[in-house]
A and B are shown apart, each in its own frame.
Chain A
Amino acid sequence: MPPQEEYSTGSRSFWSWLATSKVYQSVSASLLGTKKRRLVLLAAVPIIWAIVANLGPLFKMLDISFYDAYPLSKGREATYTIAAWREFFVTPVYYIPFFRTLIFSGILTFATLVLVYPVAYFLARHVPKSRQMLFLLLVLIPFWVGEIIRTYAIMILLGNNGAINIALKFLGIIDRPIPFMYTSFSLGIGIVYLVSLYMLLPLYSALEKIPTNMNEAAADLGAGPWRRFWRITLPLSKDGIASGCVLVFLIATGFYATPVILGGPSSTMFAESIANTFNVAADRWPTGAAFSSIMLITTLTLAAVFLKIMGRRGKGYL
Chain B
Amino acid sequence: MLNSKISRRQILKTGVAATTALAAPAIFSPAYAASGTVNVWTYANFLPDSFKEEFQKDTGIQIRERLVDDQGKEFNLLAAEAGQPTADIVTIAGHRFRQFIDSELIAPLDIGRLSNWSRVNKVYSEADWTIVDGKKWGVPILAGAEVMAYNTDIVTPEEARSWDILFGEKYAGQTAYILQDIMSIVMLYLGYDGNMIGYDEAKAAEAVAAAKAFLIERKPRVRKYYDAGAEFQQMLINQDIVVGHAWSGPVSKLIMDGFPAAMTIPKEGSYGFVYNYNVVNNGPNADNAYILLDALLAHPEIGANMTKASGFISTFEGSAEFLSDIEKAAASFTQEELDALQFFRADNNKLKYDLVDPAVEEIKAA
Contact = CB atoms under 8 A, between A and B. Distances in A.
Answer whether A and B are interacting partners. Answer: yes
Interface of A: 34-37, 39-41, 44-45, 48-49, 52, 71-74, 91, 93-94, 96-97, 155, 159-162, 177, 179, 181-182, 260-261, 264-266, 268, 272-273, 276, 278-283, 285
B219 A265 contact: yes
B219 A73 contact: no
Nearest to B180: A280
B4 interface: yes
Contacts of B104: 73-74
B114 to A, nearest CB: 26
B224 interface: yes
Contacts of B70: 279
B244 to A, nearest CB: 12
B82 A72 contact: yes
Contact of B223 (A35, A36, A179, A279): A179
Contacts of A266: 219
B365 A94 contact: yes
B105 to A, nearest CB: 9
Contacts of B53: none
Interface residues of B, number: 51
Given A73-B104, A266-B219, A285-B76, A97 B364 contact: yes
Contacts of A181: 223, 238, 240
B364 A71 contact: no
A279 B21 CA distance: 33
Given A160-B240, A265-B222, A281 B227 contact: no
B103 A265 contact: no
Given A72-B82, A73-B79, 10 more contacts: A35-B2, A40-B10, A96-B366, A155-B238, A161-B238, A161-B239, A179-B240, A264-B224, A268-B364, A279-B70
Interface string B6-30: 1000110011011101100000000
Nearest to A179: B173
A281 B364 contact: no
A45 B20 CA distance: 11
Interface stretch (B32-40, B121-129, B163-171, B352-360): B352-360
B41 to A, nearest CB: 14
A278 B73 contact: yes
Nearest to B174: A179
Contacts of B364: 97, 265, 268, 272-273
A280 B5 CA distance: 53
Given A94-B361, A160-B238, A181-B240, A71 B80 contact: yes
> What 7 pairs between A and B have smallest CB-CB spacing?
A71-B79, A281-B75, A281-B72, A96-B365, A44-B14, A159-B238, A268-B364
A216 B357 CA distance: 64
A40 B6 contact: yes
Nearest to B358: A93
Given A40-B6, A279-B76, A281-B96, A48 B238 contact: no
Most interface-central of A34, A97, A159, A282 (chain B CB within 10 A):
A282
Contacts of B21: 45
A40 B76 contact: no
Interface in B67-91: 70-76, 79-80, 82-83
B357 A182 contact: no
B158 interface: no
